[in-house]
Structure 1
Amino acid sequence: MMKVDHAGEHGAICIYSGQLFMARLFIPGMVNELQEFLAHERRHRAVFQDELQRRSYPRCRSYWLCGIGGLALGLMTGMCGRKAIVATTVAVESVVLKHLAHQLDVLVNIDPHAVAAITSIVAEEQHHHDHSASQIDARDPWFRVLAPMVTAWTEAVIWMGMRS
């Protein structure tokens, strides 16, 4: 689980990096928000990197897939504007929060270090979701088109990572 979480945080860093690059060009009003979210994701990746090192685990085989896919998604949605960025954030963070909640349920009596690592990031992931969700209308075409695709892709990447 920690390997997949680490890879996922790398993917999130790449999503926000791509969006930030485009926001600097097209949506300067989002730069500060994206920089904040990116800083959180970098800390999250470091938390899971520490857990991997503590366990002497290599990174997940899906690490680079998460990075490349995340960068592509970030650049594309960043190019499409604010609505696409917030729709993507809501979709990704919804899946991530569900995944982390499941992990906490499974690990609560098994691995206190993993529980502490996961717990240390949940509030920030929830903030990303809630802040973005407050900017979106669920009837908006960007949300209606992007959310199911991004949700399915995020779930697929997690599923593949859990099996590698």
Structure 2
Amino acid sequence: MKVDHAGEHGAICIYRAQRWFARWRAPEMVAELDHFLEHERRHRARFGAELARRNRRRCRSYFWCGAGGFALGAVTGLAGRQAIAATTVAIESVVLRHMQQQVEALDAIDQEAVAALREIIAEEQEHHDLSMARVPKKGFWPALMSPVVSTSTEAVIWLGMRL
């Protein structure tokens, strides 16, 4: 839950930065980014509530997720619609896999956590699918963003689990 909470903070920072640049580089995506941002704020609050329920502090990687997320969002927002969409697809692919593993691990242990995860998974899947529709099958941004962002997201999760 700590890593999920920090990750949602990072996602908020990514979408905020992308939204800022999208006003000039991809204005047709601003409403979609606002929609994603609204979800991510709710997700962060939900994971924050789960941490509070367990009397746990936030993850030590919280600040770094925000700073890294803002930097990634700024670069990809500046690059435009394909980079924004490719980033979302890459991140959400990793996040969805991670959350599904959590559901499997917690299913017999903590039904409240599983319920929270399942709600969030549905919205993260929506982000993935809407963004996937914007990403060309072949192209520079998908080829670059998929391995770089996926590996970085995996590394952030791995580090967060150990901090």
TM-score range, shorter chain: over 0.9
TM-score by length of 2: 0.98
Structure 1 residue 161 and structure 2 residue 160: aligned?
Answer: yes
- Structure 2 gaps of 5+ residues are none
User: In structure 2, what residue type is equivalent to 1:56?
Assistant: N
Give, in whole Å, the separation in 2 of the partners of 1:153 and 1:31: 25
Contact between 1:138 and 1:144, CA under 8 Å: does it hold in 2? Answer: no
Q: 5 Å matches for 1:15-54? A: 15-54=14-53
Contact map agreement 1:3 1:59 (CA 8 A) in 2:
yes
Measure the CA separation in 2 of the matches of 1:74 and 1:136. 17
CA RMSD of aligned residues (A): 0.7
Secondary structure of 2:136's match? coil
1:116 Cα shift? Answer: 1.1
Report the residue type matching 1:98 in the other structure: R
Contact 2:3/2:160, CA 8 A, preserved across alignment:
yes
Please tell me whether the aligned partners of residues 6 and 59 of structure 1 are also in contact (alpha carbons under 8 angstroms). Answer: yes
Q: What's the counterpart of residue 114 of structure 1?
A: 113
Calculate percent identity across the aligned residue pairs: 58
Structure-1 separation of matches of 2:42 and 2:59: 18
In the alignment, residue 23 of structure 1 is paired with which amino acid? Answer: A
In structure 2, C-alpha distance between the alignment counterparts of 1:148 and 1:55, rounded to whole Å: 35
Equivalent residue, structure 2, for 1:60: 59
Secondary structure of 2:154's counterpart equals: helix
Contact 2:8 2:43 in 1 (8 A): yes
- For residue 2 of structure 2, what is the amino acid of its counterpart? K
CA distance in 2: counterparts of 1:12 and 1:47, whole angstroms: 14
In 2, distance between residues paired with 1:131 and 1:28?
16
Cα offset for 1:18? 0.5
Report Cα offsets for 1:20-54 as digits up to 9, x if no partner. 01012322111100000000000000000000010
Long gaps (5+) in structure 1? none
Deviating above 6 A after TM superposition, structure 1's stretches of 4 or more consecutive aligned residues are none
Q: Which residue of 2 aligns with 1:129?
A: 128
Give the counterpart letter for 1:76 in structure 2.
Answer: V
**What is residue 70 of structure 1 aligned with on the other side?**
69
How many residue pairs are counted as aligned between the two chains?
163
In 1, the alpha carbon distance for the partners of 2:158 and 2:79 equals 28
